[in-house]
Amino acid sequence: MGKLDGKIAWVTGAGSGIGEAAALALAEEGATVILTGRRREPLEDVARRIGDRAHVQPADLTVSAQVQKVGDYIRKTFNRLDILINNAGVNILERHWANLTPEGIDTLVHGNLSSALYCITVALPFMRAQQDGLIIHTASMAGRFIGGLSGPIYVAAKHGIVAMSHGLNMEECVNGIRSTVFLPGEVATPILDKRPNPVSAEERARMVQPADCGDLIRYIATMPKHVVINEVHLSPTWNRSYVAALRSKL
C-alpha cells in the first residue's frame, strides 16, 4: 500500500526532467497520474514505465483552451484532483536585454507564469469541492534571488510563481488547500541545453538530479493535510556560484 493510493495527480512538463521524476515518484507511491506536456511521445514513454495508472493528455499549457480541455478530461474520467505538480517551464537562448525580442518575452512569460496560472484555475474547483488539495509549483532559485544567469524575464516570471504560491495559501487555506513553491538550484535537466554557454557532463553530474527533485516532491505530497511546506530550496552541494565566489578571492 502506498501513501498516495487513490489519489489523482496531474503533472505538467511530465515528459522529461523534474516533471518526469515527479510523475514516477508519485506513481511509485500509489497515485494515478495525468501526464501533460507539448509532445506526446515523451509522455507515452513515461506512461509505459508507470503502467495502467498513467494517463497521457498532451497540451500546450500557454493556450488556456487546451488547459481547460485537460481539466474537462480529469472531470469526466475521475471527477477529482488531489495533487497538481505545476512544473512546466521554459527558457531561451536570447534571454538578456541586449537581444530580447517581444516574441521571446511572450515565450518566457506565458511558458513560466501564465501556463501555471491557467492550471491553477482548473485545479481549484476540484480542490475546493473536496476541501482538500495540494499544489506544488516548480519555480527556481531565480524566483527568490536576482541574478544574471537565467535572464531578467525568466527571473521576473519565477518571482511571480513564488508570489502566486504564497497568495494561494493566504486565500485557500480555509478550503484545505496547500501550496508549496519549490526552488531548485541547478538541476541536470534538458533546459540546460538552452544555456548560452554549454554545460559539461562533469558539471551536470555535480548538480541536483531530477530523481532528487522527485523524491522531495513525493515527500511533500505525503505530508498530512494539517501542515503545508510553504517554500523549499534544494541546491547542489558543489554550488557553482559559491565556488566561483571563493575562487575570485584567491
Residues tagged active-site: 154
What whole-number distance in Å separates Cα of residue 81 and Cα of residue 26? 14
Give the DSSP H or E segment for 183. Answer: strand 177-184
Provide DSSP, 24-61.
Answer: HHHHHTT-EEEEE-S-HHHHHHHHHHH-TTEEE----T
What whole-number distance in Å separates Cα of residue 57 and Cα of residue 198? 32
DSSP letter for 195, please: -
> Radius of gyration (Cα) for the chain, nearest Å?
18
What whole-number distance in Å separates Cα of residue 53 and Cα of residue 187? 27
Length of the chain: 250
User: What residues have CB less than 8 Å from 14, skipping those under 6 apart?
Assistant: 20, 22, 23, 33, 35, 36, 37, 43, 46, 85, 87
Residue in 82, 79, 29 with CA at minimum distance from that of residue 225: 82
Q: Dihedral through CA 99, CA 186, CA 166, CA 147, nearest 10?
A: -40
